[in-house]
Structure 1
Amino acid sequence: MPARLFQNCKKIIFLLFFFLGWSASAQEYRFIEEVNLRPAKLEYFRDSVQFQLEGSIPIESVVTPRNPRLTLSLKAAGNILELGEIPLEKNLSKYTYSESYRFAFEPWMQESFLELSFFQGKREQSEPFEKRVLAKGIITTPFLAKVGRFAASEEIQDVGLFIPGGVADRGNDQTVTYLIQFRPGSSDFEATRANEAQLSQLREFVTANPDITSIKITGIQSPENQEGKLSRLGMERAEAVKSAILNKNIILRDSLIDLEARWNDWFDFRLLLSDYEQVSTSVKDQLYDILMNGEDYLTQQESLKRVRGFDQVSRDLYPKLRAAKIEVRAKPGRGIGMQKMAILEKELNGNSSVSELSFVDWATAAESSARMNEKTEIYTKMTELFRSVLPYNNLAVIKMREAQRTFDEDIKENLWTEAEWLLNQAIRLEPNGYSLHNKGQIAALRGNFWEAYRLLSEASTLTKNADFLKRNEALRGALDIIRGDYKLATLRFDYSFDNAKDLFNKGLAFFLAGDFSQASIAFEESVIQNRSFGYGYYGLALLAINAGQKEVALIQLQRAVSLNEELYRWMLYDPSFEEIRGMDDFFESERKTQS
């Protein structure tokens, strides 16, 4: 029998038990009818499960019940946790009991049920007179937080942080802006000293940063009468600047350049006004009130003219709007060139302990290599040539990412052990945030969340690099969720994220902290970033069921499980959705998912 079919059969058998076997909890009971479980659904919190159980057993006559006993147990396929016998207190008409429980959570408990058993008669009696399921499953929502582990059906998550080329800002995109001025009403480019200086600075920037992400030229028109009443002037200015850039060979590919124009728009004027200091704050406030009042452009223009002091403002700022704005986003080029690459290849194959190339050359060559085996070869040689944390740390990251690509737990553990040895070597050379972060990531992958948190906290004190801190805090926030510090977790995510995983974790933190509006925003952003991820939809389903919107929750669940098989398993055992598992549409969604 194929493994997938076998797993589905096991799932179906368990589902029959889940939905049909446990339906007996709705029956009437003779002795264990009056039972109160608080909370009504068991929930994981800070590494344990805790609840209180109280109730009563009626005394029907002087002879019944005889030697009553109650026991409590947590059961799942192949596992059982005996919680012991419950002490009973005899009163005139009933026995009463009240007991608190707390036990350490184990993964098998996610698919368990809490069963109360009632015995009477002889002490050695093994079969209960009555038994009742009090709770199905355990809410383990915090474990949805993504800390690097993933199921076989999910996309591989990248783990570990490379030290970037030995230079903190290397490889980061930079955006710069240049302004080309025009005469009133004209779109003819003039090689004035100011314009030529702007183009010279542009040339220097793209020479130093040849990896261009985008170039946008925006033609702008002033509100002055001599600028004309048509929008064409702005676009003509943008086209004139594009021609000048291409003619001077500053940019060689015109396909990189996007052209735009703005007309009857106060956006650029507002930018200039924010830095303008020739009028009082009260005048500025009046101008901003008009610019932001939502009225049409011409009405705003007339209102601006009535503000005392605006004549001076317009004389100073309007001429600056006869322009075209160049915005370039780029980053330093990758690689070290053919000549240096030839030297590097010779030294990789040699035995020399001295290199003609600099440390930055080696680091750049490794960083720009597309294949992991090439990176490994270069970083390994660097450990022989340079006394530096970078090659040891980055070799460890390669081992960590190799471990992500195997589901053989023994191989995975061996790779993590190798990575840890390399990271310890790096830390011996110099304590650094990157290596401590990577050790923390390995601890999180192993499930050692408290040790992971300690290492990440220490890492956060060793560098102020903004990109590092964002990624380190994102992982700390995910661990805060698992550790139960939900409010603290929300503070960790006070960054602008652009990936679905971190946005989902952010939403989860706010959801568990009770801030449902912020949770909704983050879950929706997660969906927008990656619609095939699935977890954002699951978060929206949690919000809907929490608000009592069963139909909405069902729709979001259908979206989640259709995208992600692992979420299908979570849905089956998550007590959060117990109320909608009896809905007809729930089983219809199951059939669609299976087909």
Structure 2
Amino acid sequence: MLDLLFKKKPVLLLFVLFPILCGSIIMPETDFLEDSKVVPGKLEFIRDSVRFEVTGTIPIESALSPKNPKINVLLKSSENSLLFEALELTKNVGDYSYNQSFTLAYEPWMEGAFLEIQFFQGKKALDEPYQKKVLARGVITTPLLAKVGKVNYDEPIPQVGLFISTGIMDTDLSRSKEFLIKFDAGSSTIKMNSANTQAIADLKTFLTENSSVLSFKITGVQSPETAEGSSSKLGMDRAEAVNRLLKESNISIRDSLLEVSSRWNDWFDFRLLLREYEKISTQRKDQYYAVLLNELDYQTQSQALRKISGFNQVASDLFPNLRVAKIEVVAKPLLGLNQAQSMILQKALEQSNGNSELDMADWAIAGETTPRLEDKAKIYSKMTELFRSVIPYNNLAVVKMRLAQRTLDQEAKDALWKEANELLYQAAKIDTNPYVLHNQGQIMVLQGKTWEAYKKLSDASVLTRNDNFLRYNESLRGALDILRGDYKLATLRFNYNYTEPKDFFNKGLAYYLAKDFANASLSFEESVMAGRNYGYGFYGLAMIAAESGQAEVALLQLDRAIHSSELLYQKALVDPIFEEIRSTDEFFQIFRPAASKKEN
């Protein structure tokens, strides 16, 4: 019947076949999103927002293709998503074009999100797009790495707030000193020659003058010389020998403060000696540092160093100084009230009246020298009853701030911040004080009020030229400059002598974001040297290596970073900075040991 119909009316056959022919000829398989792109290619957090532009064209291949096109943009993570309104399309002769800019207020879920463009066609609303394409994965949130005092559960609690000090316990009272016990080549036997005898005598004098020991490290070191052996045993034997010598010399250190270790096949100590070596030019030193900082293995670095002109003379001068055990001590004088004063203080704390035989300076010293925050709170609280002064109000506020750092309960934390702010308000009524302004700014930072905090910290800097205060205040101010996107200005804030790894890291971060990678590398290296267990310095070095295309170096540094901090471990998995190396087997290899460790 159909055959007969088609024979009589061949036009009808053509009409039936036409849609099929159109489908195979006029509607080929087309990648309608082929030239879709996002600018910048990697999304970035800048000044509390994410800004990008989506552009592209949809080719028009015939009158029937495409049908009623629509372009959607979706930002999506495992926990949240944001679907934007359909892009406005401009119909041209051979295509539809689109170009649209977006500015989003940054939210934490966006860091691990991906940006997807979707193509729909047809008159009916469809749930699934005809085609889709990922334009970008993750958001670069490097400025948010700035250390501003926030607590991460797997890291040491950051110290926040500044006490107004009498000067008795200023930070410069904590002193660090290094003492060297020297050995013959290949030996771990201590000879009590004049140099070693003097070192022990100097150590005893130092501990007598600074009886409050904060840390005590003994590190056995080996020179790269052949006579020093081919294993790390010699370095540890030297460290243990020194430990025994100290006990025999009646130098007793608590086990909780004592750290005994060794270094072998490590150019760290050689690099320290090279800094003070004056027999070679600065240009020649730069050649050495280029090798020492390239993060290649010890043997490769050793071969490269030996090729530098004049190395034999440098080795002859410096290597003997590496046949040592280093004693590194951080200590301070033990200060405070005498026994009689302490009894008067205790009696005053137990009484409800507003009288005291001690003057304000005695009370302030008692507050400073008391180690427990709870005891400080009692002393400063009593002082607010006895004296009309900024000091007790400010210092009690700092106690509240530091207690807030110790709790994970946000409600309790908010209550302590509120109490601290009320105390600071009372202090400000008595006098305009830079410490009060700094502490108000620090609380605002922790509450996420970045712009208000910056104003407080800026006002604080104007009120004093005290270097110790400015070192802390400008460090926090520089960290806020990073968050505010003023990277070059941030680099100017760190022109102080820092000792904390976090400050060196913030300084490196400022230089990194300002694209000054040379100074950034030096600062991250200083962060590592100030705290070898502080992973952020290694993360910074990994970012620089990734930026310069040094994949192997980036992986080495990243390996060290992620095993020191859970936050860095999670961040590295989504950070677009490492996108080019994330697809490699080597990248996931460095995460496997950490995963295995967690399972065990």
Trace 1:137-152 onto structure 2 (pairs within 5 A). Answer: 137-152=138-153
Q: Which residue of 2 aligns with 1:171?
A: 170
Matches within 5 A, 1:2-21: none
Alpha-carbon offset, residue 354 of structure 1: 2.5
TM (norm. structure 2) is: 0.69
TM-score (norm 1): 0.69
SS at match of 1:53: strand
- Asked if the contact 2:510–2:520 (Cα under 8 Å) also holds between the matched residues in 1, the reply is yes
Task: Give the Å deviation of 1:255.
Answer: 11
Per-residue CA shift, 1:46-92, capped at 9, x if unaligned?
11111122111111211111100101121122322222211111122
Deviates more, 1:70-79 or 1:139-148: 70-79
Q: Does 1:388 align with 2:411?
A: no
- How far apart are the structure 2 equivalents of 1:396 and 1:60? 71
1:209-267 Cα shifts (integer Å, max 9, x gaps)? xx987799xxxxxxxxxxxxxxxxxx79x98xx99xx9xxx9995999xxxxxxxxxxx
2:104 is matched with 103
The CA deviation at 1:560 is 0.5
**RMSD of aligned Cα (Å):** 2.9
SS in 1 for 2:85: strand
User: Helix, strand or coil: the match of 1:32?
Assistant: coil
Give the match's secondary structure for 1:563.
coil
Cα distance in structure 1, aligned partners of 2:178 and 2:587: 50
Residue 572 of structure 2 corresponds to residue 571 of structure 1: yes
Change (3 A) 1:56 1:394: same
CA separation in 2, counterparts of 1:110 and 1:568?
Answer: 14
SS of structure 2 residue aligned to 1:125: coil
Would the alpha carbon gap of residues 128 and 334 (structure 1) be closer, same or farther in structure 2, given more than 3 Å must change?
same
Work out whether residues 171 and 332 of structure 1, in 8 Å CA contact, stay in contact via their aligned partners in 2: no
The residue that corresponds to 1:554 in the other structure is 555
Matches within 5 A, 1:20-99: 30-99=31-100
Tell me the SS of whatever aligns to 1:460: helix
- The amino acid of 1:574's aligned partner reads D
Query: What does residue 470 of structure 1 align with?
Result: 471
Superposed counterparts of 1:321-332, under 5 Å: none
Contact 1:73 1:84 in 2 (8 A): no
Residue 493 of structure 1 aligns with an amino acid whose one-letter code is F
Match of 1:457 in 2: 458
Structure-2 residue corresponding to 1:128: 129
SS of aligned partner of 1:357: coil
How many angstroms apart in 1 are the aligned matches of 2:587 and 2:280?
Answer: 47
Aligned partner of 1:507 in structure 2 is 508
Residue deviations 1:184-233 (CA, integer Å, cap 9, x gap): xxxxxxxxxxxxxxxxxxxxxxxxxxx987799xxxxxxxxxxxxxxxxx
> How far did residue 332 of structure 1 move?
6.9
Paired position in structure 1 for 2:406: 405
Q: Secondary structure at the match of 2:51?
A: strand
Equivalent residue number for residue 440 of structure 2: 439
TM-aligned CA distance change 1:455 to 1:558, over 3 Å? same
Unaligned runs of at least 5 residues, structure 1 = 1-27, 175-210, 217-234, 257-290, 296-328
Distance 1:85 1:335, change over 3 A: same
- SS for the counterpart of 2:128 is coil
Distance 1:137 1:214 in 2: 46
* Distance 1:493-1:212 versus aligned 2 partners, 3 A rule: closer
**Shift of residue 293 of structure 1?**
7.2
- For the residue of structure 2 that corresponds to 1:34, the secondary structure is coil
Using the alignment, how far apart are the partners of 1:72 and 1:212 within structure 2?
A: 58
Indicate conservation of the 8 Å contact 1:29/1:130, yes or no: no
CA distance in 1, matches of 2:210, 2:407: 42
Which is worse superposed, 503-512 or 401-410? 401-410
Closer, same or farther: CA 577–401 of 1 in aligned 2, 3 Å: same
Counterpart CA distance in 2 for 1:253 and 1:493 is 35
Counterpart position of 1:367? 368
Residue 593 (structure 1) aligned with residue 594 (structure 2): yes
Q: Matches of residues 173-572 of structure 1 in structure 2 within 5 Å?
A: 173=172, 334-572=335-573
Aligned length: 439
Which amino acid in the other structure matches residue 419 of structure 1?
A: A
Whichever residue aligns with residue 130 of structure 2, its letter is F
- Name the % identity: 50
Q: How many Å separate the matches in 2 of 1:117 and 1:430?
A: 61
Query: Matched residue of 2:115: which SS?
Result: strand
Contact 1:173 1:330 in 2 (8 A): no
Equivalent AA in structure 2 for residue 486 of structure 1: Y
* Cα pair 2:337 2:365 within 8 Å, conserved: yes
Return structure 1 stretches of 4+ with deviation > 4 angstroms: 211-216, 250-256, 291-295, 329-333
Cα displacement string for residues 524-560 of structure 1 (whole angstroms, at most 9, x for unaligned residues)? 1111111111000000000000001111111111111
Query: What is the CA deviation profile of residues 91-150 of structure 1, one whole-angstrom value per residue up to 9, with x for unaligned ones?
Result: 222111122221211111111111111111015333211111111110000000010113
Letter in 2 for 1:81: L
Q: Which residue of 2 aligns with 1:309?
A: none
Secondary structure of 2:368's counterpart equals helix
Q: How far 1:333 sits from its partner (Å)?
A: 5.5
Q: Give the deviation of 1:586 after TM superposition.
A: 1.2
Give the 3 Å change call, closer, same or farther, for CA 294–512 of structure 1 in structure 2: closer
Provide Cα deviations, 1:391-426, integer angstroms capped at 9, x if missing partner: 111111111111111111111111111111111111
After TM superposition, give the deviation of residue 153 of structure 1 in Å.
Answer: 1.3
Q: Structure 1 pair 294/117, CA: closer, same or farther in 2 (3 Å)?
A: closer
**What is the CA–CA distance in structure 2 between the aligned matches of 1:352 and 1:411, rounded to whole Å?**
31
1: distance between equivalents of 2:479 and 2:331?
Answer: 32
Which structure 2 residue ranges, 5 or more long, are not aligned?
1-28, 180-193, 212-276, 282-329
Q: Cα–Cα, structure 1 residues 538 and 213, in superposed 2: closer, same or farther, change >3 Å?
A: closer
Distance 1:292 1:525 in 2: 21
